[in-house]
Amino acid sequence: MPEAAPHKSHAPDLICLSHLRWNFVFQRPQHLMTRCAADRRVFFFEEPIYGETAPRLELHRTDGITVVVPHLPRGADTEVLRGLVDELIRREGIRRYVLWYYTPMAMGYTSHLMPEAVVYDCMDELSAFAHAPAELKIHEAELLRRANVMFTGGQSLYEAKRTAHPNVHPFPSSVDVAHFARARRIDADPPDQAGITGPRLGFFGVIDERMDIDLLDGVARARPDWQLVLLGPIVKIDPASLPQHANIHYLGSKTYQELPDYIAGWDVALLPFARNDATRFISPTKTPEYLAAGRPVVSTSIRDVVRPYAHQGLVRIADTVDEFVAACEAVLTEDAAERLRRADVFLRQTSWDGTWARMRSLLDAALIGTTEPARVAGAL
């Protein structure tokens, strides 16, 4: 057990309840929680790992965060997990705290707690995902009753949820521009990508039921001279179900730090999402990241990509194989300088620092019992 995390300020500690593991993919929770940790202690409480073990907590510090992994014996009930939450609070001397939920399922073992405020950052419609627990919607209803403020991960999700809570605010995906803009200056390939020749069309992210497998297969067959490079873990689907062609390359998971090195070698960045219940409300974080990296982007008609990106001429939209191939051919020959100019104008409007500043203002308002945030100077 590492030493207790040091207190940083008079701000209440924050306990984040997440369905995503800290070391899985660096995305919205990681961006926000690392910024939150600049002035308060943040405990990132993951879902339990079940095995042949006595109940215990595994804690480690990373990125200024205390990551908390509960280990439970198989068949353990919610009361055991509730006891581990209480143990964390006792061991770490957590007295004043905010609960920040990414998963409503955590209500099952945290509803007894007495936080100073409750935040629900609804980044996805989890009930639409494969293998979603049947009781998720029940827990979400309880969370909505308790939450002081609610955020959504995109505009479409906000429109679906805005009547569910009296204090809900849309916060679409943002971007660390400087991090991804490095890709514009890199001219060396990582070893596992260096041997892939020809035009490269790339994707990074989780490969799951949201991926349009038939579209990938069709594009690979239609243009065998193009190389499709996919980075990321394969989750909740059988890897054998993915198309296997000589020009499709599954390079596995890469760290957030490595991504610009790979994107730098791509000719086109892809968002080949299926159109199904799991993608109805997604707001892909990788859209502005691709743009910051200086890549042209081709996407299927995901609502939060069409609006605002396609409407502003930043992304081409295509759904069929023929349309997708044509869109990729078009961006391969377009004026890169004009595309970069438009992208940079758009990107000046957004940043994770600005997103966190606005969220923190709303959180501070909730802590003093109002829904009116303080004005945030210079927030983007």
Give the span between the Cα atoms of 16 and 60, in whole angstroms. 15
Residues 58-80 have pLDDT tens digits of 999 998 999 999 999 998 889 99
Residue 24 clears pLDDT 60, i.e. is over it: yes
Is residue 124 within 8 A of residue 282, CB to CB? The reply is yes
Range 177-347 classified under CATH 3.40.50.10860: no
The rounded distance, in Å, linking the Cα atoms of 13 and 277 is 36
pLDDT given for residue 75 in this prediction: 87
Instruction: Output the CATH code of domain 13-174+352-367.
Output: 3.40.50.2000
Per-residue model confidence as pLDDT tens digits over 99-131: 999 999 999 999 999 999 999 999 988 776 766
Please give the mean pLDDT across all residues of the chain.
92
Long-range contacts (CB closer than 8 Å, 24 or more residues apart) made by 112-115 = 112/82, 113/85, 113/89, 115/12, 115/15
pLDDT in tens, 292-322: 999 999 999 999 999 999 999 999 999 999 9
CATH fold match for the domains 13-174+352-367 and 177-347: yes
When pLDDT is averaged across residues 39-54 and rounded to a whole number, the result is: 94
- The domain ranges of the chain are 13-174+352-367, 177-347
Q: What is the dihedral of CA 317, 280, 179, 103, to 10 degrees?
A: 180
Cβ neighbourhood burial of 194 (10 Å; 0-12, 13-18, 19+): exposed
Contact 349, 174 (CB under 8 A): no
**pLDDT value at 95 more than 90:** yes
**SS3 breakdown of the chain: % helix, strand, coil, rounded to 5?**
35, 20, 45
Residue 297, H or E segment: strand 297-299
